[in-house]
C-alpha cells in the first residue's frame, strides 16, 4: 500500500477559472478557496450567474457512476423541495471534466453555522432529516458503497498498520486495542442485524449543514451511502449523557412528525463513533502525500498523537459496552 501522490498539483487558479469558462460560466476573476481536504472547492464569481461553487473531485476516489449517483440523489431531494445544495448541469451533465479534473458546479447558497442550542433548532433539524430519509428509503444506490465495519473499520486498521505511521513501540498496543474494538463493533452490528438501511447523507455533521432564514441546508453529499439512519443523527449529540439525551429528545420531536424511527439503531451510535475514529486515522495516512494534510495534521506522526489514539480507542470500547444514550430510555 502506497500513500497517494500529490493529486491536485495541476489545479491552479487559472485552471479553475478555465473550468468555469468551459462549463459556460463567464468568470469575472473573483476566486476564493473554500475549506475542504478531501476534494478542492472554490467559490467563483461570474458575470451573469452570480457566485458559483466549483467542486473538484479527488482523482481515483469515486467512479463516474458513483459521483453521478450522488448527484442524482441530491437532485431527487431538491425536486421534493428538500433543503440541499444541488449540482447544475450546464452542459447536459452534472459531472464535468476539464484539464484532467472531474468537477461539478453548484449555485452559491448563503448560510451560517447552525446554532443548535437556539429554541426549536434541533426539532427543525429532525424534521428536515426525516424528510431526507423518507426520500432515501424509496430506492437503493447501485454504485455507491454501504456503511459497514469492513470498509470503515477493518480496512482502516489494515491501512494504518501497513503505512507505518504508528511508532514501533506503540504498534502492538495499537493493533491489539484496534482489533478488540473491531470485535465490539462487529458484535454490535450483529445484534441489530435486519435493521433497515437506505440512502443517507453519510457525513452529516455541523460542517455540512448551513443555516438560513428557512432553517437547515444540507451540503456536500460526497459520502452518501447505504446505511442506517442513525448515522445522520448521532453527530449532533454532543456533551455528557444527559445533554445527549436532551438533544435526542428534541431531534426526535421533529423527526417523528415525518417518519418513524427504529430505536434499535441507538445500539449503533457508539460503534459508528468508533468506526469514524478508526477511519479518520487511516484517511490521514492515505492522504499524507497531499500537501494539505501535513499542514493540517502536523502532529499525526508524533508519539503523543498515537498514545492519545490508543487511549481513546480503549475508552470507546467502554462506551460501546455502556452507551451514554440507551434505547431503553425511549422504548
Annotated catalytic residue, options 148, 203, 222, 290: 203
Burial string for 260-290 (b: 16+ CB within 10 Å, else e) reads: ebeebbbbbbbbbbbbbbbbebbbbbbbbeb
Closest CA to 124 of 317, 314, 272, 254: 254
Q: Coil, strand or helix: which one is 230?
A: helix
Q: Please say if 220 is a catalytic residue.
A: yes
Contacts from 212-215 at CB under 8 Å and sequence distance 24+?
212/109, 212/110, 212/111, 212/112, 214/83, 215/83, 215/124, 215/125, 215/128
- For 180, half-sphere exposure in the C-beta direction (CA atoms, 13 angstrom radius) is 16
Phi, psi of 43 (to 5 degrees): -95, 125
| Cβ atoms of residues 312 and 277 within 8 Å | yes
Nearest to 113 by CA among 248, 208, 243, 254: 208
Among the listed residues 148, 220, 232, 290, the single catalytic one is 220
Catalytic (active site) residue 222: no
Query: Do 44 and 30 contact (CB within 8 A), yes or no?
Result: yes
User: Which segments of the chain does DSSP mark as H helices, in order?
Assistant: 13-22, 64-79, 121-136, 149, 155-163, 168-191, 241-255, 269-286, 292-296, 303-321
Q: How far is CA 223 from CA 67, 146, 168, 307, in A?
A: 10, 10, 33, 29
Residues assigned a catalytic role: 203, 220
Amino acid at each position: 500500500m502506497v500513500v497517494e501522490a500529490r493529486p491536485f498539483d495541476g489545479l491552479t487558479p487559472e485552471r479553475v477559472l478555465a473550468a468555469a469558462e468551459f462549463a459556460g460560466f463567464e468568470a469575472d476573476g473573483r476566486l476564493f478557496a473554500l475549506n475542504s481536504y478531501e476534494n478542492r472547492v472554490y467559490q467563483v464569481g461570474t458575470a451573469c450567474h452570480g457566485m458559483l461553487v466549483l467542486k473538484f473531485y479527488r482523482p481515483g476516489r469515486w467512479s463516474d457512476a458513483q459521483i453521478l449517483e450522488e448527484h442524482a440523489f441530491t437532485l431527487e431531494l431538491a425536486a421534493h423541495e428538500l433543503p440541499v445544495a444541488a449540482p447544475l448541469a450546464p452542459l447536459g451533465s452534472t459531472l464535468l471534466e476539464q484539464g484532467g479534473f472531474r468537477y461539478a458546479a453548484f449555485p452559491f447558497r448563503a448560510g451560517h453555522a447552525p446554532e443548535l442550542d437556539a429554541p426549536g433548532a434541533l426539532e427543525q433539524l429532525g424534521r428536515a432529516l426525516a424528510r431526507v430519509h423518507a426520500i432515501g428509503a424509496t430506492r437503493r444506490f447501485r454504485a455507491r458503497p454501504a456503511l459497514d465495519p469492513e470498509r470503515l473499520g477493518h480496512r482502516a486498521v489494515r491501512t494504518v498498520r501497513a503505512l507505518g505511521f504508528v511508532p514501533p513501540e506503540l504498534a502492538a498496543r495499537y493493533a491489539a486495542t484496534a482489533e478488540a474494538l473491531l470485535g465490539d463493533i462487529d458484535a454490535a452490528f450483529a445484534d441489530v442485524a435486519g435493521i433497515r438501511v437506505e440512502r443517507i447523507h453519510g457525513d452529516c455533521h455541523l460542517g455540512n449543514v448551513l443555516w438560513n432564514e428557512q432553517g437547515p441546508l444540507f451540503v456536500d453529499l460526497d459520502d452518501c451511502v447505504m446505511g442506517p439512519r442513525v448515522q445522520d443523527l448521532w453527530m449532533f449529540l454532543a456533551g455528557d449523557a444527559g445533554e445527549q439525551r436532551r438533544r435526542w429528545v428534541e431531534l426526535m420531536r421533529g423527526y417523528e412528525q415525518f417518519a418513524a424511527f427504529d430505536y434499535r439503531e441507538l445500539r449503533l451510535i457508539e460503534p459508528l463513533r468508533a468506526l469514524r475514529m478508526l477511519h479518520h486515522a487511516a484517511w490521514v495516512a492515505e492522504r499524507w502525500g497531499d500537501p494539505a494534510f501535513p499542514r493540517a495534521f502536523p502532529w499525526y506522526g508524533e508519539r503523543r498523537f498515537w498514545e492519545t489514539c490508543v487511549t481513546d480507542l480503549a475508552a470507546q470500547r467502554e462506551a460501546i459496552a455502556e452507551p451514554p444514550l440507551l434505547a431503553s430510555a425511549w422504548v
